[in-house]
Structure 1
């Protein structure tokens, strides 16, 4: 009862703190106000929003659920991805003055077809994968940590509150809440690492198999070591630099300098704090409870934290899940409004009203899909593998568009479709049948390279165009631009 009371009180306190911060702001009515916080996020809120959009229960529950140190490579390599976002892509987005990353593709190709396709793939991933998976992992954590309600009831609670934030305050409300809840999540997550190590007498190795302690993954591990030098870097470039829910936060600052400061602050947090909190508790849980998969983190928290403090952490985690879900919802609504509604339905008279309608629809779909993820052995490995359906095909469109001139939108579409189909055949046909012996991270490189080749080949041999390798035209002048470059 104490835990539940603390949980409810802290959840309300975070909401009130967010409201107190926002009530002085004019909410506006333009799409920039709704989807880019009016370009008013300072570096602290940019950093907080980026960190919590990524760090939700997908990572805390999913990575610790593998119960091995190896999974830390996802976060360590994410540091490199954030550096690429800060120094390469942030100036490009600000110079282009875009609301969505897909608008940049339309500018580069001179045609809207590729923008529509890539936006559809983003929406596919958000609605069918990220939103329900986040709600499932969040509900699972709360349940295993001692909030004893049905899984679907907890997922419904998280989804409805996330929808309320999205409807009421758009990206500004989401970013503020992510920052406030993020401070609590990180502080208590670090404390859990310390308490977990104390619970195993500061000896993680006792009774734990060597493969769970190594940072050099074997060929049959979730992350074979060689994949750090093949597909891993491209996964990070896609996720941090071209993925709408992340890049949207970086595009919401008043200028490049402020955005870059926020991204670099998020990078520092990622390399110094995140790797430890997403793997050490899981290994400690293996020593204490055995192999319990995605239940590891919640059970450990319930074991090492006193009831009142576990209630505090449950509230912080709930806020993180709510903020993560709201952030993805806001990005999805923005993509729909800018890339579909304005293009195929008509001018949006009121972005707040449209946001409310689409958010409600997304909430219902996401909650309904939660049971699909309940059967997964490892939520994080499932997410990373499914991510390949859209990540490498989308990245191929950015690579061709940014590095080449003279490529038509239709050619880029062919490359994206090729990549989606190729990875789908690998994941659902060839790999289960043992026909291809490649790890899925390796096959992402195959998908990316062949998608680029398919786009260039179709452009040359079917459309008769001549692509010209011209990266200087995109990147020229970025280093010379003023650090105080104004928004959009």
Structure 2
């Protein structure tokens, strides 16, 4: 049997096994409450802490992390993962209690409750939706296709590989709903983490665990002003980036909101934080550092080339199954959360309050998948996909986070003031970070995120007072208020 046939057989068998295990776990466990939204988007509230942890981990950990972070070929990128632990703790201690108290299906439902206005929910839900559609989904599909192309050293055009991922992912998200996505995420997560740890060990073994000859700036965790993450940014925008991503981002929090109780959700989030501390930093930077010693500065192709050179042929198929699972799991999660945002925040509020959720989700999934493929060539032009992602993320993250902060900490803020602040934040951050703008500055984008956040909070409160004539009040013990407040 040739190596290629063996690899293909292993890939198909492992993928099929995970599919069967997922089916057996999900069979007969649909929600009996009659709520299509709750079953399709929150798994009927039936995810145990194990599946919450597994789904959060693999939703975040995909090829954009493994390819993008290792593509920087330096240890410094690990600070993203270590700081993410703080974001997960904030999710568990601050956001989960309030989401469960308000019975939210989407994170943006909390905004509707706090501002007593459906329009702000639709605006922020629309921004989340656009973030998934224009930033995260194309990046995941592009990075997954790039990894497969470089790892197998095939001459197939990258867009064709991306199309296969997008089509399979769309079918899976449509037929599975969140329950199947979360369960398969967990099974896939065991495989992905196991294979990623194996790659890390083989990479270290290839250089005899000897880092000599690698420039010091590629081994340090303290970045200077010219690095991707200068150390002062840890004191400014970094914590707010993590607070946004883990605490308000629908794609992540949707898993935590799908547990039967708040306590079960918190256990899952703490478990995800432990996995991130013990495993994730090593697997997203060490292979990249080793590749620098072996091949030099080769950017985002580093991880795929290392895998292709170090793994024995019999394991290539297994690794391909793991990486395909990581791509599809993240893509499925993004599709499911984007669909939830459109159905719950926009369609039910403005088009029909009782849609056929499954049929509507199919159309949204189809359109998002087509848009993903259109945008893949844009990401091919990026020098570093992970750095591009983080910079683009600032357009939405800080304006959105500011409105959550204002909504939770203050009363009597007009929703229109919050919407003004969001629009201001998007334009303000974009004018400072993109070179075509006359206000462009060379200040690091993470610093600018902190500036944007506080500016948006100020604009919301000032607009509330001077445009709409309302005086905001400190909410005090906001998180203890009942849902009717």
TM-score w.r.t. the length of structure 1 is 0.95
- Asked if the contact 2:431–2:440 (Cα under 8 Å) also holds between the matched residues in 1, the reply is no
* Deviation (angstroms), 1:310: 2.0
- In 1, distance between residues paired with 2:8 and 2:163? 17
1:182 and 2:189 are equivalent in the alignment: yes
**1:342-353 superposed matches below 5 A:** 342-353=348-359
| Partner in structure 2 of residue 137 of structure 1 | 143
The structure 1 residue matched to 2:17, chosen from 13, 18, 33, is 13
- In 1, distance between residues paired with 2:354 and 2:162? 31
Range that drifts further, 338-347 or 253-262: 338-347
Could you tell me which runs of 5 or more consecutive residues in structure 1 were left unpaired when the two chains were aligned.
Answer: 479-488
**1:203-222 superposed matches below 5 A:** 203-204=210-211, 206-222=212-228
| Partner in structure 1 of residue 447 of structure 2 | 442
The structure 2 residue matched to 1:468, chosen from 469, 473, 482, is 473
* Deviation (angstroms), 1:433: 6.9
- In 1, distance between residues paired with 2:476 and 2:196? 42
CA shift in 2, pair 1:286/1:314, >3 Å: same
1:76 and 2:82 are equivalent in the alignment: yes
Range that drifts further, 51-60 or 468-477: 468-477
TM-score w.r.t. the length of structure 2 is 0.95
- In 2, distance between residues paired with 1:456 and 1:442? 22
1:39 and 2:45 are equivalent in the alignment: yes
1:316 and 2:285 are equivalent in the alignment: no
- In 1, distance between residues paired with 2:465 and 2:435? 31
- In 1, distance between residues paired with 2:235 and 2:292? 29
1:241 and 2:247 are equivalent in the alignment: yes
* Deviation (angstroms), 1:11: 2.1
CA shift in 2, pair 1:271/1:196, >3 Å: same
| Partner in structure 2 of residue 276 of structure 1 | 282
The structure 2 residue matched to 1:3, chosen from 7, 24, 36, is 7
What is the root-mean-square deviation of aligned Cα atoms in Å?
1.6
CA shift in 2, pair 1:108/1:27, >3 Å: closer
| Partner in structure 1 of residue 384 of structure 2 | 378
* Deviation (angstroms), 1:126: 0.3
- In 1, distance between residues paired with 2:355 and 2:236? 46
Aligned to 2:55, the other structure's residue is in SS state helix
Range that drifts further, 261-270 or 163-172: 163-172
- In 1, distance between residues paired with 2:24 and 2:187? 12
- Asked if the contact 1:4–1:147 (Cα under 8 Å) also holds between the matched residues in 2, the reply is no
| Partner in structure 1 of residue 92 of structure 2 | 86
Aligned to 1:320, the other structure's residue is in SS state helix
1:300 and 2:309 are equivalent in the alignment: no
How many aligned positions are there?
Answer: 476
- Asked if the contact 2:30–2:39 (Cα under 8 Å) also holds between the matched residues in 1, the reply is no
CA shift in 2, pair 1:435/1:136, >3 Å: closer
| Partner in structure 2 of residue 484 of structure 1 | none
1:166 and 2:173 are equivalent in the alignment: yes
* Deviation (angstroms), 1:475: 4.0
The structure 1 residue matched to 2:458, chosen from 437, 453, 456, is 453
